[in-house]
Amino acid sequence: MSSLAALLPAVPVLGWAVHAQWLRSRLTTARRDPLTGLWTRDAFTRRARRLLRDERAVVVLADVDHFKQINDTHGHAAGDLLLTTVAARLAHGTTPGGVAGRLGGDEFAAVVIDHDGTMADRLHTLARVLARPVDTAPDVHTTVSLGWVRAGDHPGEDLSALLRRADEAMYAAKRSGRSAPRRARLGRLLWSVAGRRPGRRGAA
């Protein structure tokens, strides 16, 4: 009887611990993109800002080329499969210590610390990996345009400004048609804070 009495005060505590764990799990799930499992824009932003305290941080923006054509040719299920595959490969390519998120549609972002100065080579390898066919659907594949910027090249700029620079570089890569990652240029941004490039979502 005394043993049972000793356990009773622990029951509510145990209940609250289980409930707290459930709440944390739900909160984490809410911060994950339901299709790809990457961080959502807000969750990615919080984690990316912490990494940007290191001047070796590199911001990467990735956009799937010809995504509408994939949907039109193979169907939306194939398009979703392509997005999940790109997301998994991007997440793997930015570990350890990096963070990757889905900003929306077929656009992804990542921040990674370039510890050894090999980011350019790593991104060229990543571009080739991202262009491989989906393992379970060999007909489903396309290139992915990558733009990147090193935080240390633009001291004082926040995540938003660095993403705009990476976006500018990414569309330069997309226009070149070579599927090679493009590093952001030095100097001022070519387009304003207020707007995206006209027609950018319709780009091939």
Question: Catalytic residues, which ones?
Answer: 106
Cβ atoms 107, 203 nearer than 8 A: no
Angle at 166 between CA 144 and CA 103, to 5 degrees: 65
Q: How many CB atoms are closer than 10 A to CB 56?
A: 15
Gyration radius of the chain's alpha carbons: 21
- Distance CA(19)–CA(16), nearest Å, equals 5
Collapsing DSSP to helix, strand or coil, 137 comes out as: strand
- Tell me how far apart the alpha carbons of residues 101 and 52 are, in angstroms, rounded to a whole number: 15
Residue 159: which of 48, 85, 15 has the closest Cα?
Answer: 48
Q: Are 94 and 60 in contact (CB under 8 A)?
A: yes
Given a contact cutoff of 8 angstroms between Cβ atoms, the answer to whether 107 and 61 are in contact is yes
**E strand map for the chain:** 57-64, 99-104, 107-113, 144-150, 182-183
